[in-house]
Structure 1
Amino acid sequence: MSAVDSLTAPSAARRGPLAALRRLGPTGSHVAALAVVLLVVIVVASLLSETFLTSDNLLNVARQVAVLGILAGATTLLMVSGGIDLSIGACASLCGVIAAKMLTGGDSATLAVLAVLAIGMGVGLLNGIAIVVSNAPPLILTLGTMSILEGFSQATTNAETIPVSNFGWLGAATLAGIPMPAFVAGLVLVACGLLLRFTRLGRDALAIGGNEHASFVAGIGIRRVKVALYVIAGGLAALAGLVLVSRVGAASPMGGVGLELQAVAAVVIGGASLAGGRGSVAGTVLGVVLLGVITNVLNLLNVQTYYQSVATGAVIAIAVMSGQAGTRWRSDRAGGH
């Protein structure tokens, strides 16, 4: 190789597609790669089902993933700070049940919405205070909260579903052709993205997730940040419960159960680290859409529910393993240099 070749070869390598991805950073490169994966899945889905790309079906997908999108937004805020809340699904169920009881009891929709949002934020406040005071692992503590909230939901309804006929505007209406649930979820996710990128709370959350001790030394109010994030998560869980009740037309004491794990899966697929310090709302959106598309096309193909669980679980496992492999690869490269 000539002297000229030896000088130009590295420059050419730096202009390659892999180098371009690396310049985006670990989060940006993951989001870009996930966007390509989603595009491939959409193409395959359109080939497998001729109704997949119809406007009615795509709007249906948007409507179906709305509740998951709201909960995933809340989960993103918590996970980038190193936290997690497994009670948000149960909180959504309880808030939906309480709203249904109020609406069927003659209370106004405005009062029901305000009361439920306050309850959800109150649950988040209790979670946050309990975590920072006891220093207990959020995973375990919120698992206990989940069980408590599920019990309250069952007791409140006597384990029965409550039909709601006067609250359909939030779940069935459209705005400029966009289903209202998807519109609300979009606003929530945009707000979460702006919070992470442009506010002190968001920057502090990322710093705490990256290195809590260094954040403490830098003067960040760790307890204040954590409690605030759990309060926000509780409020968003309540909103998700309202959207779910309005969309379904009924409140089930177990309506939101399981959604917390799907939200965690969407956030992890989107590139967030379970250890905190890394994640993006853009990645979360792609994770939510990917899960929604997979579920939708499997429904269109009349695949049994249990096989759908297998497929979704496989996607999650592959995403987690690839994320961990990417983290180790970047760590090894950093150590080698």
Structure 2
Amino acid sequence: MKTFELAKSKFIEHNTLIIFILMLLFSASISDAFFTLGNISNILRQVAPIGLISFGMLLVILIGEIDLSVGSIVAAIGVTFALLSHLVYFPVAFLLSLFVGAMVGMVSGYLVAYQKMASFIATLAMMTIVRGLGYLLSKGAPITIGSYSNDILLLGHGDILGIPFSALILFLVFGVMYLLLKYHVFGRMLVAIGSNEEGVRLSGILVNRYKFWVFVIIALLSALAALLMVSRTGVGTPNIGIGLELDVIAAVVIGGASLAGGKGSVLNTLLGVLILGMIGNIMNLMDITSYLQQVIKGAIILLAVIFQKYQN
């Protein structure tokens, strides 16, 4: 009996890793093309933007909040960069776009942290406002990047030893986030706030400040994700990123984070992103329609939440 309980405990502790390995084996058995270098590189390029936003969403979920504006930020920043690329050189357009993204996060953070607005409502409003601004700036049409910033295309299509630049950025941010949550007081405070916000507040900790910066970080990572998307297509379009928050939340939940806050892992979130990427890749290789893919992704979120409840 003790052996069974120990085995069950180990499975619950490492379930995301186990699911990841099983997905690798299943994917390899479904298609011979799965483990080719071209396909693996393609998966990494596709999941890099989702992974960046997922790391930010993990921070938001750790404090028991949610951010629905990430898809709209991606669209608006893509349009912003495309417009700036006709006026200034790549580094300037890149940094200005990140700054605009951070500004959006500051608004959301202020509404949630200092105006005590529910994050669901605040970010839902920002989702509508920011995407609307994207449509206004672009007049509803895609904008091709200018010659001043053609260097960004190297970011989307270049690689080092077969590893895409976008994947290297993803792994770099992963390393920073891992250290932040594992060893820095900022990360530990996020977990504490999600576990017992009132207790942390009574201890004299400025909870509002932590909440504010979490929304700035996720907006900044969403802006970076937008630039990675533009680097692949060379176009900023206001209708990109619709439903992106679904994929991001799915990745975090698959990684075992608790929507109630206080529980989550950067490593498991990365595995969740890769699992989601493999699922999408296999469905594409099997020629499953995009509509059915949405149904399957929704079912995966539901199953992950049910399993999480059992785990708790």
Per the TM superposition, whether the score is higher than 0.5 is yes
Correspondence for 2:50 among 63, 68, 73? 68
User: What is aligned with 1:77?
Assistant: 59
Q: In structure 2, how many angstroms separate the alpha carbons of the residues matched to 1:126 and 1:106? A: 26
Runs of 4+ deviating beyond 6 Å? none
Native 8 Å contact 2:37 2:162 kept in 1: no
**Cα gap change, 1:232/1:30 in structure 2, threshold over 3 Å: closer, same or farther?**
farther
Alpha-carbon distance in structure 2 between the residues aligned to 1:313 and 1:244 = 23
Is the 1:31–1:271 Cα contact (8 Å) retained in structure 2? no
179-188 vs 36-45, which moves further = 36-45
CA distance in 2, matches of 1:54, 1:31: 31
Does the 8 Å CA contact 2:94/2:227 hold for their aligned counterparts? yes
The separation in 2 between residues aligned to 1:227 and 1:273, in whole angstroms, is 20
Q: Distance in 2 between matches of 1:265 and 1:239?
A: 20
1:152 to 133, 149, 154: 133
2:220 aligned partner: 235
Q: 1:17: how far off?
A: 6.4
Shift of residue 134, structure 1, vs aligned partner: 2.1
Q: Distance in 2 between matches of 1:186 and 1:64?
A: 14
The alignment yields a C-alpha RMSD, in angstroms, of 1.5
CA gap of 1:160–1:17, structure 2 versus 1, over 3 A, is farther
Alignment gaps of 5+ in structure 1: 1-9, 328-337
Alignment of 1:92-241 (within 5 A): 92-103=74-85, 105-164=86-145, 166=150, 167-241=152-226
- 2:263 is matched with which residue? 278
Displacement of 1:228? 1.2
8 Å CA contact 1:70, 1:185 repeated in 2: yes
For 2:133, give the aligned amino acid.
Answer: F
Secondary structure, aligned partner of 1:86:
coil
**Partner Cα distance (2:182, 2:116) in 1:** 27
Q: CA deviation at 1:217?
A: 1.4
Note the alpha carbon deviations across 1:260-284, whole angstroms, 9 max, x for none.
2211111011111111000011111
Q: Quick one: structure 1 residues 324 and 114, their matched pair in 2 at CA, closer, same or farther if it must change by over 3 Å?
A: same
CA distance in 1 between partners of 2:121 and 2:56 (Å): 18
Q: Which residue of 2 aligns with 1:260?
A: 245
Distance 1:20 1:215 in 2: 35
Structure 1 residue 229 displacement after superposition: 1.0
Normalised to the residue count of structure 2, the TM-score between the two structures is 0.95
- Residue 330 of structure 1 aligns with which residue? none
In 1: Cα distance, 2:182 partner to 2:5 partner: 26
CA distance, structure 2, for counterparts of residue 31 and residue 116 of structure 1: 39
Compute the displacement of 1:170 (Å): 1.4
- Identify the residue that residue 6 of structure 2 maps to in structure 1: 19
Q: Is the 8 A contact 1:271 1:279 kept in 2?
A: yes
Task: Say if 1:62 and 1:179, in contact at 8 Å, map to a contact too.
Answer: yes
